[in-house]
């Protein structure tokens, strides 16, 4: 069984929006109180207060503070669980000798979700075939079911993004393996404007609307700095800026999903440069690794591959952009040289295609050398993403 997340936009009425905000705020206060208790116990008595101990207070809190009565008990338990997780992460990092910041109090605006951990059985109910969600303590909220929900519902998280509300359902779904596929492909993180380049000479361009949206973002950013600090206009512009940021992030994610889907559908094995090693091996900021969101893409790719029974392999990227994919001759070239020509054997092809072929070869697969032609025409073809 694998878990799959489904995110839908909610359209709460104004009173419902107030209730959602209030629930969020109460959860945040509880979070901070639970954190405080753990800190105090630790500082004063060197004692650790655990999850179960804190969970036991919840009925008392609900009895004494009537505002908490309207919140589902499991939503509150989940808050305690979040505190527990924060501490576990902290202790784990300390133990591993890593830099570990003590779990922090959440300020307003730093706490943006609450969860029904057993939404499948209690707290949340879908109504009218998914047009509405009945939420405990909030009511029946209109929902946009832009794609069908699948599998068995496990958890539901209410999430605030700016002024908008979303619900994220996590469901357990049967993995659906795709038919066996012997094809393997290597991918290289492309240089602008390419998002990625494959060992078969295909080049995926980053969608143009990113650039447009980036330009718009820059304009908004400039006007924000022109407005007076603390002014209403500045506040409004900042909200618009945050909205634009979210929109770009969503578009990027959507693009990543489409590219990953296409790779997983067509290839049994997908070989890429290992990002962790890449980060250590050389600074690839020139390639815009951060900007293109490669880490997110590889996560989505790995997840889709697992679901489909495909293989994703990360290899050491060292020298992949310097080696000749035909004869193995190694020569360092400046990044701006886009045409790879080998002084030893005369092979000539696009630099990033050469790198992608090398990436594929690193996995032990023998690459198809169609693209490593000796005449300078193998500059690759455009690969349109639907």
Q: Which residues bind Zn ion (CB under 5 A)?
A: 324, 326-327, 329, 342, 344-345, 347
270: closest CA among 279, 261, 257?
261
**Structural contact between residues 248 and 214, judged by C-beta atoms closer than 8 angstroms:** yes
Is 133 or 347 the residue whose CB approaches Zn ion more closely? 347
Is 143 or 349 the residue whose CB approaches Zn ion more closely? 349
Backbone phi and psi for residue 48, each to the nearest 5 degrees, phi listed first: -105, 135
**Structural contact between residues 77 and 71, judged by C-beta atoms closer than 8 angstroms:** no
Is 293 or 367 the residue whose CB approaches Zn ion more closely? 367
Decide: residue 255, CB within 10 A, 0-12 exposed, 13-18 middle, 19+ buried: buried
State the nearest-atom distance from the C-beta of 278 to Zn ion, in Å. Answer: 24
State the nearest-atom distance from the C-beta of 366 to Zn ion, in Å. Answer: 16
**Structural contact between residues 37 and 87, judged by C-beta atoms closer than 8 angstroms:** no
Look up residue 140 and give its DSSP letter: E
Is 60 or 375 the residue whose CB approaches Zn ion more closely? 375
| DSSP bridge partners of 173 | 2
Contacts of 68 (CB under 8 A, 6+ apart): 26, 30, 61, 62, 76
**Structural contact between residues 74 and 23, judged by C-beta atoms closer than 8 angstroms:** no
**Structural contact between residues 316 and 296, judged by C-beta atoms closer than 8 angstroms:** no
State the nearest-atom distance from the C-beta of 345 to Zn ion, in Å. Answer: 3
Is 78 or 358 the residue whose CB approaches Zn ion more closely? 358
Tally Cβ neighbours within 10 Å of residue 176: 10
State the nearest-atom distance from the C-beta of 355 to Zn ion, in Å. Answer: 14
State the nearest-atom distance from the C-beta of 347 to Zn ion, in Å. Answer: 5
State the nearest-atom distance from the C-beta of 316 to Zn ion, in Å. Answer: 20
Is 141 or 357 the residue whose CB approaches Zn ion more closely? 357
Is 92 or 330 the residue whose CB approaches Zn ion more closely? 330
State the nearest-atom distance from the C-beta of 358 to Zn ion, in Å. Answer: 12
**Structural contact between residues 278 and 316, judged by C-beta atoms closer than 8 angstroms:** no
Placement of tokens 């559908």 in the chain: 265
């Amino acid at each position: 069984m694998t878990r799959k997340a489904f995110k839908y936009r909610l359209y709460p009425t104004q009173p419902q929006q107030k209730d959602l905000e209030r629930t969020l705020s109460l959860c945040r206060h509880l979070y901070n109180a639970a954190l405080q208790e753990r800190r105090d116990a630790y500082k004063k008595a060197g004692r650790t207060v655990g999850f179960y101990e804190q969970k036991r207070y919840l009925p008392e809190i609900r009895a004494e503070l009537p505002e908490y009565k309207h919140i589902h008990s499991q939503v509150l338990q989940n808050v305690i669980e979040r505190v527990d997780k924060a501490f576990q992460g902290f202790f784990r990092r300390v133990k591993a000798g890593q830099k570990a910041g003590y779990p922090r109090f959440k300020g307003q605006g730093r706490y943006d979700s609450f969860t029904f951990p057993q939404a499948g059985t209690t707290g949340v109910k879908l109504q009218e075939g998914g047009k509405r969600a009945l939420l405990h303590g909030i009511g029946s909220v209109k929902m946009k079911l832009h794609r069908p929900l699948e599998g068995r519902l496990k958890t539901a998280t209410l999430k605030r993004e700016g002024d908008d509300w979303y619900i994220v359902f996590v469901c357990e779904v049967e993995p659906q393996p795709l038919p066996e596929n012997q094809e393997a492909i290597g991918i290289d993180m492309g240089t602008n404007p390419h998002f990625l380049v494959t060992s078969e000479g295909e080049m995926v361009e980053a969608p143009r609307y990113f650039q447009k949206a980036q330009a718009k973002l820059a304009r908004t950013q400039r006007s924000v700095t022109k407005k007076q600090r603390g002014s209403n206009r500045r506040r409004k512009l900042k909200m618009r800026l945050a909205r634009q940021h979210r929109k770009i992030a969503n578009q990027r994610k959507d693009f990543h999903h489409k590219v990953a889907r296409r790779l997983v559908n067509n290839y049994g094995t997908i070989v890429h440069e290992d990002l962790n090693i890449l980060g250590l091996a050389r600074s690839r900021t020139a390639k815009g690794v951060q900007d293109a969101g490669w880490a997110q893409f590889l996560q989505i790719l790995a997840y889709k591959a697992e679901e489909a029974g495909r293989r994703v392999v990360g290899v050491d990227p060292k020298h992949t952009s310097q080696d000749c994919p035909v004869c193995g001759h190694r020569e360092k070239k400046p990044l701006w040289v886009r045409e790879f020509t080998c002084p030893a054997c005369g092979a000539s092809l696009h630099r990033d295609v050469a790198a992608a072929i090398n990436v594929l070869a690193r996995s032990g697969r023998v690459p198809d050398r169609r693209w490593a032609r000796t005449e300078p025409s193998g500059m690759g073809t455009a690969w349109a993403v639907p």
